[in-house]
Chains A and B, each alone.
Chain A
Amino acid sequence: MTQDFRLDTVGLINRDKKLSFIFNGNNYFGYEGDTLASALLANGVHLIGRSFKYHRPRGFFGAGVDEPYAVVQLYRNNETEPNVKATEQELFEGLEAKSVNCWPSVNFDIGAINNFLKVFLPAGFYYKTFMWPKSFWYKVYEPFIRKAAGLGVASTKHDKERYEHKYEYCDLLIAGSGPAGLASAYAAAKNGARVILAEDKPRYGGTLLTSEVNIGNQTGKEWSENIITELKEMPNVTVRNRSQVFGYYDHNMLVMLEKISDHLPKTKKYHPKQRLWYIRAKEVLISSGSIERPLVFGNNDTPGVMLSSAAKEYLKVYGVLVGKKPLIFTNNDSGYETAIEFKKNGVEPIILDTRKEPNSETIEEAKNLGIQIKLSYVVVAAKGYKKVDSAEIAKISDNKNNLGALENINCDCICVSGFWTPTIHLASQSGNKTKFDKNIDAFVPGVSKQNETTLGAANGKFTLEETLKDSFDAGYELSKKITKNENKILCPKVVEKKKTTHDKFWCVPLPKGKTYKRFLDFQNDVAVSDVEIAVKEGYRSIEHVKRYTTLGMATDQGKTSNLNGLQLVSNIENKIVPEVGHTTFRPPYTPVTIGAIVGREVGKHSRPTRKSPIHYWHEKNNAVFVDAGVWLRPRYYKRGNETLFEGSKREAKNVRTNVGVCDVTTLGKIDIKGPDAAELLNRVYTNAWLKLPVGKARYGVMLREDGIVMDDGTTTRISENHYHMTTTTAQAANVLSHLEYYLQVVWPELNVNVVSTTEQWAGVAIAGPKSRDLLKKLFPKIDVSNEGLPFMGYLEGELFGVHARIFRISFSGELAYEVNVESDNGSFMWEKIMELGKNFEIQPYGTEALSTLRIEMGHVAGSELDGRTIPYDNSLEGMISKKKDFIGKRSLNRKAFVAKDRQKVVGVIPLDKKTSIPEGSHLVKDKNAQLPNPKLGYISASCWSVEFDNPFSLAILKDGKNMIGQKLFAMSPLKNKTIAVEIVSSHYVDPKGERVRS
């Protein structure tokens, strides 16, 4: 089998390895080393999709990252990926791809009717037309536009591929392995610097692969291969292909996407699909080359019109002819190089040069080869619908304003060259103030902001000799700055053909009476006329023109269109290009998959999971877990078919009647030591701490400086200068930072040390009327009677040989204790408690029962201490010391905080004693009042009171103090419920607090 457009010997592909693939349902084959684009072109396929707006036929325009047309939907290993550039996608066995943006098929596309309506679809069309009637937008316009427009379709399935992140440091990061990148990497590496060299393509060498040059008596390609081989062997060098440095961020942090498996039919086991590198480089060398500029003429978007550099790359790298009757349209010498390659491979090209009398070594060579050259000639329009079949050409006057008689010329492709645009994206992203270089009609990097240097074509240097000299120098000088070494490599001798200056002309005028569309932006169908309209309508800023016309948007980000757009605006406005300026270059330079950005942080790995040392007992005993911050906590221990409601009620009830045990390891624990520890606590907490005796615990509330409650908990004096603080689970980390802030920044004179011991202690709460009896069994040798261990007392003891801290504190409102042992002994303690607790009918209880118990006791917790309430709101005003100062005290006399009708925590019971009140419900006086119904307060927490067997809620209510006994309505529009309620005291159970002291 042969391929019509494949040469027999030329190219870097492996002709021994055939690969079959499917495009739009048809079977084709290509070779190892092909891209999807080169393989399709070898098979003579030029029609690859439809354009975004007018659904005009689309072919290939480039051969790499700049490609604006050839985006496909890729199918690989039962997954699909949208917006893959066919020019970048390497071919693999079994690859499948489909056209995007066409319906029902690429050959017959209904949307193409837009093309014939194009007079009605000018710039800003969507803004202007679909504005009214407003109600049509969601139902008519948007669904229609969504169906007609857009590129690929994202998969809705979970992405099973693995993506990795990697952090790396280096002396020099070099982006691009063309002549500039290779030379600077080599010079720097030989001088001892740690170098990372990144190449976005599979092959290293950049333009050296396609240009006829000689470096140190080797061809460019040989030289690049030798350099790469040597670099790869050096221990101080990391070389990566298929790796795009796409973002330049602050402090010389760059991000690179390495495509590890995209070129394979399937990702290898244990390999990631892609890897995202975060690279902190001391110096960055940008050697990203340049992209050829299109010339603008009628129907210049027809399949078969492409960049001359792309045609050359398809020929020299892939052995593919993009046409057999090529027309080369150029304003500089680059087009000649492409023509020469065609000619050498038996194809007769015709060159149209816009210049009148150009002369250079390259042009001489073309002439000597007998290539037909037409000077002062332009392509007026491409002809053909799905593929170029001829061109309308004409002679152009010296002032470039007038066209001669139109002539038709047969051709099957038009290779255009409008000179070169340096790829300055990375430099610009780093903050470089770019400047306009009149000699090349393009922007080049100017003053560096960060440690970045741009070299070679990216810096507007288009001769190899200059590029290599600059790059060897830069590699040496920058590495010397870092390594202090002085091993200098001499720049080899370069042989290249001399070129002459380009023509500034780039946009062919329309002949009289013709209305050809002349496209600037090929991906978004932005034509010259669209920009003209935008400017006529008053859009002046290039940023506005961009957004109004969509020039330079979408996946190619205007890589080929930006500069022509700027030139056009500056022409219309009679300005020079630098006055117009360019739009901001933002990362990423090329599209990056969400998978790569997210990396391994997916699902359960999106944040750490913390488990208590007793976790595995809970798991074995049917615990239903709930996320509490990053902790996993048992919500209830399910028995049979019990629901959460039934289970938590049973557990809570058992605490009130017998004894329950709860894993409270997750509570924050902070060890506080030092002679000034009491003084610190006295300043941090609102109540007095200086006189707390050793062996006693105390409840404390801490505020932020603005008077809002930050956290609460108990702190116990273990010994003279040693305290054990507990915090809520949620605030543990914040409280530690808070204490560190005051100790290090505000009061460094305090001699105190704080450290988190949350992970070091396993903690349990043993609560219920029988808890003391159980404690006696656990600690038979110590006196845990009400006298021996009174409420808020503290003892240390041995739990069957294990050191334990025993606190008599209670969250449930029952007689209760908390016991801490070292984490490793947590399971042992728990199992002992369960074993000895059998006689007392012990049951474990989860967070839901824990909540029930504290709510009906009126103990405030996270849902009341929600960062919006002050101590008074939570009935904690008794905790406020009048005698001493503390953090946040001065804020407590703010007007709103001392208002007579200040909000306060209250209890709420439904009048029917049956209907549970949804948390978050609003309390209102009149359920029928006009909306918005004035809100008096809100339900902060709800439970089913196990003591009274009816629903009970806590609420924060305006003037709550005086509202006890009032009847209100709890309204939850979310749950569509309105419940008549009565306001009662928040202390529903045991209001005098006798149980905890019993």
Chain B
Amino acid sequence: MLHIKCPHCGMRSQNEFSYGGDATVKRPELNKEISDQEWDNFVYNRKSLRGKHLELWQHLSGCRQWIKVERDTATHEIFKTLKANEDI
């Protein structure tokens, strides 16, 4: 079980969190004309990286904040955790 440092609450066990996917994906702006391909990439296409991955988690059973976690997908090493509005 992973041990994740919530930037708001401190070290907590993985079972307090839920996974939220790739944190580098940016939602296209509202009302902006974009191509089918761009939309497709946003909705469906994700890279399944081996290695460092910046991802979103929600501290569901804690402060309910969405946070960013930089994690190695192969070793589970966590390098850094950030608030949702912070950049790496």
Binding site for B on A (CB under 8 A): 167, 249-253, 278, 280, 431, 449, 683, 705-706, 737, 740-741, 744-746, 748, 884-886, 890-891
Query: In the docked arrangement, what's the CA distance between A740 and B65, Å?
Result: 8
Q: Which of A167, A683, A745 contacts B66 (CB 8 A)?
A: A745
Pairwise interchain contact A683-B30, C-beta atoms closer than 8 A = yes
Q: Which residues of A contact B60 (CB under 8 A)?
A: 737
Pairwise interchain contact A885-B30, C-beta atoms closer than 8 A = yes
Query: In the docked arrangement, what's the CA distance between A745 and B56, Å?
Result: 9
Query: In the docked arrangement, what's the CA distance between A250 and B4, Å?
Result: 11
Pairwise interchain contact A891-B76, C-beta atoms closer than 8 A = no
* Supplied contacts A740-B66, A744-B85, A884-B31, 7 more A-B pairs, CB within 8 Å: A249-B1, A250-B3, A449-B75, A705-B42, A741-B58, A745-B56, A748-B85
Residues 24 to 53 of chain B near chain A (Cβ within 8 Å): 27-28, 30-31, 34, 39, 42-44
Residue on B with the closest CB to A733?
Answer: B60
Q: Which residues of A contact B30 (CB under 8 A)?
A: 683, 885-886
Q: Which residues of A contact B62 (CB under 8 A)?
A: none
Binding site for A on B (CB under 8 A): 1-3, 13, 18, 20, 27-28, 30-31, 34, 39, 42-44, 56, 58, 60, 64-66, 75-76, 78, 84-85
Q: Which of B2, B3, B27, B84 contacts A744 (CB 8 A)?
A: B84
Closest Cβ of chain B: how far from A179's Cβ, in Å? 31
Query: In the docked arrangement, what's the CA distance between A212 and B39, Å?
Result: 75
Residue on B with the closest CB to A280?
Answer: B3
Query: In the docked arrangement, what's the CA distance between A297 and B88, Å?
Result: 63
Q: Which residues of B contact A740 (CB under 8 A)?
A: 58, 64, 66
Q: Which of A278, A683, A745, A890 contacts B34 (CB 8 A)?
A: A890
Pairwise interchain contact A745-B84, C-beta atoms closer than 8 A = yes
Residue on B with the closest CB to A431?
Answer: B75
Given A705-B43, A748-B84, A890-B39, answer yes or no on A278-B1 (Cβ-Cβ < 8 Å). Answer: yes
Query: In the docked arrangement, what's the CA distance between A263 and B13, Å?
Result: 33
Q: Which residues of A contact B66 (CB under 8 A)?
A: 740-741, 744-745
Residue on B with the closest CB to A891?
Answer: B43
Residue on A with the closest CB to B34?
Answer: A890
Closest Cβ of chain A: how far from B67's Cβ, in Å? 9
Closest Cβ of chain B: how far from A737's Cβ, in Å? 6
Given A705-B42, A891-B43, answer yes or no on A251-B75 (Cβ-Cβ < 8 Å). Answer: no
> Please, could you name 19 A-B residue pairs with CB atoms under 8 Å apart, sorted by A?
A167-B13, A250-B76, A251-B2, A253-B1, A280-B13, A449-B75, A683-B30, A705-B42, A705-B43, A706-B43, A740-B64, A740-B66, A741-B20, A744-B65, A744-B66, A745-B56, A745-B66, A745-B84, A884-B31
Q: Which of A253, A705, A885 contacts B31 (CB 8 A)?
A: A885
Residue on B with the closest CB to A449?
Answer: B75
Pairwise interchain contact A251-B31, C-beta atoms closer than 8 A = no
Q: Which residues of B contact A253 (CB under 8 A)?
A: 1, 3, 13
Query: In the docked arrangement, what's the CA distance between A253 and B15, Å?
Result: 13
Q: Which of B30, B39, B56, B64 has the most CB of A within 10 A?
A: B30
Residue on B with the closest CB to A278?
Answer: B1
Q: Which residues of B contact A737 (CB under 8 A)?
A: 18, 58, 60
Query: In the docked arrangement, what's the CA distance between A249 and B20, Å?
Result: 22
Closest Cβ of chain A: how far from B8's Cβ, in Å? 11
Query: In the docked arrangement, what's the CA distance between A278 and B1, Å?
Result: 10
Closest Cβ of chain A: how far from B15's Cβ, in Å? 10
Residue on A with the closest CB to B60?
Answer: A737
Q: Which of B1, B18, B56 has the most CB of A within 10 A?
A: B1
Residue on B with the closest CB to A683?
Answer: B30
Query: In the docked arrangement, what's the CA distance between A683 and B3, Å?
Result: 35
Residue on B with the closest CB to A884?
Answer: B31
Residue on B with the closest CB to A252?
Answer: B3
Query: In the docked arrangement, what's the CA distance between A784 and B84, Å?
Result: 46
Q: Which residues of B contact A278 (CB under 8 A)?
A: 1
Residue on A with the closest CB to B33?
Answer: A890
Query: In the docked arrangement, what's the CA distance between A885 and B27, Å?
Result: 13
Residue on B with the closest CB to A748?
Answer: B85
Residue on B with the closest CB to A740?
Answer: B64
Closest Cβ of chain A: how far from B44's Cβ, in Å? 7
Pairwise interchain contact B1-A250, C-beta atoms closer than 8 A = yes
Closest Cβ of chain A: how far from B18's Cβ, in Å? 7
Q: Can you list the 9 inter-chain pairs with the closest CB atoms, starting with the nearest? A: A251-B3, A885-B30, A744-B66, A885-B31, A250-B76, A744-B84, A253-B1, A890-B39, A745-B84
Closest Cβ of chain B: how far from A809's Cβ, in Å? 28
Q: Which residues of A contact B27 (CB under 8 A)?
A: 705, 746
Q: Which residues of B contact A885 (CB under 8 A)?
A: 30-31
Pairwise interchain contact B84-A250, C-beta atoms closer than 8 A = no
Closest Cβ of chain B: how far from A600's Cβ, in Å? 15
